[in-house]
Copies of this chain bind each other. A is one copy, B any other.
Amino acid sequence: MSPRPIQIVEVGPRDGLQNEKAVLDPATRAELVLKLEAAGARRIEAVSFVHPRLVPQMAGAEDVMAALPAAPGRSRIGLVLNGKGYDRALGTGVDEVNVSLSVTDGFGLRNQGLAVRDQVAMLSEILARRHNSDGADTPVPALSATLSCVWGCPFDGEVSVAQVTDLVGELAALGVVEIGLADTIGVGDPWSVTRKIEAARAAAPDATLRLHFHDTRNTGVANAFAAVEAGVDVLDASVGGIGGCPFAPGATGNVATEDLVYMLERAGYATGYDLDALIATARWIGDRIGRPTPSALSRAGGWPKA
């Protein structure tokens, strides 16, 4: 029996670049998206609809999208933090919007000015507007929601299983069909990953769970392994492991796409990615941001050697 396919959602152009010091122009970011799609990315977090004053690295989301030719079978995702971001996303051609919410008040207030209850109200309002637009002429992008700080919060500390499952159940009841669970600051261990995934699945048995790990403390790949073992089919990753952690200066960021692809493909899982093309793209973006990317595969190369 062959292992099942695992979908890796590429988040380098958004979560990766957003946390780099270098600010890349929209044309370069669009080029990164196209290179990643050529390397096998089928779903890609391409842009973020946040205010450019707050996150200059993500300025010009509309320009990035305008530079991307339509690509059937590929899905470009735009991150939104509120109704205003959602308004911007409509009409740019994004295929999906990902609404970010925090499981903790501390992170929610600092990241998007909203406590947890207010974030849920914000999401409900977006969902209501989508419902009202059913049957309209303009196609509406698909919607997923991602919970940040599921394994710990830089402001509020530890996060319990119940904090996560209460929100997961609420999102599922609101009709969210894909729910992301993010270890935003990279503090989870694989045993706790298994526990929170099992609890989240019990709270939302019909939702697809999408897991998002950071390699800040070198547990990202182990956590991804635990997630796959727990039945998860969708993982986020960032080419080159670019990004970082604003709460741990000098640390690495998202788990690297090529590191996940290596582990999964070596074990027989199909990811749809070309490892060599990913490594080449990691080196290319490293040149653009002015530092070698931290992924292991971009340094060691794959194995067995071709």
A interface with B by C-beta (< 8 Å): 152, 157-158, 185-187, 189-192, 215-219, 221-222, 224-226, 245, 248, 250-252, 256, 259, 262-264, 266-268, 295-297, 299-304
Contacts and interface: CB of A to CB of B under 8 A. Distances in A.
A140 B159 CA distance: 51
A297 B262 contact: no
B262 A217 contact: yes
Contacts of A250: 299-300
A244 B216 CA distance: 20
Contact of A297 (B152, B191, B217, B268): B217
A296 B190 contact: no
Chain A, interface SS category: loop
Q: Which of A186, A191, A245, A297 has the most CB of B within 10 A?
A: A191
A157 B306 CA distance: 12
Question: Number of copies of this chain in the oligomer?
Answer: 2
A215 to B, nearest CB: 7
A296 B225 contact: no
User: Which 5 pairs, one residue from A and one from B, show the smallest C-beta to C-beta distance?
Assistant: A218-B296, A251-B300, A222-B222, A248-B300, A218-B259
Contacts of A301: 248
B300 A190 contact: no
Contacts of A302: 217
Contact of A216 (B186, B266, B296): B296
Contacts of A262: 217-219
Contacts of A219: 221, 259, 262-263
Nearest to A241: B218
A213 B297 CA distance: 16
A266 B300 contact: no
Given A152-B304, A186-B300, A251-B299, 6 more contacts: A190-B267, A215-B218, A216-B300, A217-B259, A219-B262, A222-B263
A191 B267 contact: yes
A104 B123 CA distance: 58
Contacts of A245: 300
Nearest to A302: B217
A6 B295 CA distance: 28
Q: Which of A222, A226, A301, A302 has the most CB of B within 10 A?
A: A222
